Amino acid sequence: MTKAAQLTERQPIIQIEPWIDGKELQELTRAIEATFVTEHELTHEFEAMTRELTGAKHAIAVCNGTMALFVCLKGLGIGPGDEVIVPSLTFIASANAVILAGATPVLCEVSEDTLCIDASRLEPLLTAHTRAIMPVHLYGQSADMTAVLSFAQKHRLVVIEDAAEGIGVRFENRHVGTFGEMGIISYYGNKTVTCGEGGMVLTNDDALAKAAYRMKNYGRDRKGTFIHESIGFNFGFTDLQAAVGISQMKKMPKVVARKKEIRDRYVAELADLQLFRPVAIDPRCHPVFWFTCFLCDDPDGLGAFLSNQRVQTRRFFYPLHMQPCLADRRYVRIIDEDFTVSERLYRQGICLPSSYSLTQEEQSYVVRQIRHFYENRNQLPSA
């Protein structure tokens, strides 16, 4: 019996999982043998690798992506009374970081093509309290940074890029997270490069880099002293995280190439399904397909069917304006009530298995099951 034929009886096909093997163990051994398990030389090495990849002058490692956003916000002096424009279609951490800083997220609609913030919808959201725009580079594609920067400069706003999902992504040949005053990358367990947990603050501004380091290091300019120049916290990184990240960065070219192969094959082999189409790519963007995203007419039904075939999928992020925890609007402002694009994208979005470890045989199985769903769904039992 072939592996594909046995899939329903054996292991599921995971939607996304990291490529972890003995290479990470080797780097972890290096950290343990050095006895520096907290932030030390391996963290500095990982930060240097990130600077080289992104072109950012400064890369400051912190405990996770949400805290990286918080560090950016506080480093720029954003807090109570301030408003930050955030896209509605994003993971909730984008808004939560603003709320944690004491500021208010103002929700903006997204572009139907790229899923990222729609700069043409920004103008009506401006108030006397607007301080910043937080474009999110969603699912490995860049927001239109030309339009965002033009708007920000016109209205003297700062730009904080949420590139949590954007490592390796470039817009007009420049790495995302380096366009605005500050940006961040996440290294959560399912990201293209993972440390298990972790985040990175990116900036080209020396003063902002110093402020970010102080913020994550108890308000100190260096470790090993009990003199604190400002109020700060413990958002530190560890050399254990860095060890995993160093190994992951070395693997990144292969991971990115494999994810593109997976996405291209899905697109080619499912091209004739009129009700199943890939998310468009801005030609100015060099994407990294963190998730392989499609739009279809019935993601709930398709997802349930694939789950029964032991194929894991994931829906798009639930739009912020629909979140139960934000429903009373105590923490967010909604000026433009029209979020039909975000809602439609959520209703149509589905993410297919796209791990580096996905085999050709497994992908063939996924393709066959999707085709089977569309060819036979009138006869399939309801979920």
- pLDDT on residue 259: 98
> What gap in Å lies between CA 300 and CA 362, rounded to an integer?
22
Q: Are 316 and 374 in contact (CB under 8 A)?
A: no
Give the CA angle between residues 295, 256, 142 to the nearest 5°: 55
Give the Cα separation of 76 and 181 in Å (integer).
Answer: 9
Strands 285-286 and 182-186: unpaired
**For the segment 188-218, what is each residue's pLDDT rounded down to a tens digit?**
999 999 999 999 999 999 999 999 999 999 9
Q: What span, in angstroms and rounded, lies between the C-alpha atoms of 269 and 106?
A: 40
Amino acid at 289: F
Q: Sheet harboring 104-108: ordered strands across?
A: 58-62, 199-203, 182-186, 158-162, 130-133, 83-87, 104-108
How many angstroms from the chain centroid is the CA of residue 8? 31
**Tokens 């958002």 — which residue?**
235
Predicted model pTM? 0.95
Spell out the alpha helix ranges (H) of 55-154: 65-75, 93-100, 145-154
The torsion angles phi and psi of 184, rounded to 5 degrees, stand at -140, 155
Q: What are the structural domains, with CATH classification, of the chain?
A: 1-383 (3.40.640.10)
3-state secondary structure of 363: helix
C-alpha angle with apex 220: 215 to 222, nearest 5 degrees? Answer: 115
Q: Which long-range contacts (CB under 8 A, 24 or more apart) does 360-367 make?
A: 361/2, 361/3, 361/4, 362/3, 362/4, 362/7, 362/13, 363/262, 363/265, 363/266, 364/4, 365/4, 365/7, 365/13, 365/311, 366/13, 366/266, 366/306, 366/311, 367/265, 367/266, 367/269, 367/270
Q: Enumerate the H helices of 116-238 as residue ranges.
A: 145-154, 206-216
pLDDT on residue 7: 47
Cα gap 317→88, rounded to integer Å: 10
Cα 227 to Cα 235: distance, rounded to the nearest angstrom = 18
In this structure, are residues 285 and 138 in contact, taking their beta carbons and an 8 Å threshold?
no
Q: List phi, psi (to 5°) of 233.
A: -135, -175
Q: How far apart are CA 371 and CA 368, in angstroms?
A: 5
3-state secondary structure of 364: helix
Measure the CA–CA gap between 281 and 169, rounded to whole angstroms: 12
Query: Which residues of the chain are under the pLDDT cut of 70?
Result: 1-10, 380-383
Residue 227's CB: how many other CB atoms inside 10 A?
8
What's the chain's Rg over C-alpha atoms?
21
Q: What pLDDT sits at residue 382? A: 58
- Give me the percent of the chain exceeding a pLDDT of 70: 96
Q: Using CA atoms, how far apart are residues 235 and 71, in angstroms rounded to an integer? A: 9
Give the type of residue at 353.
P
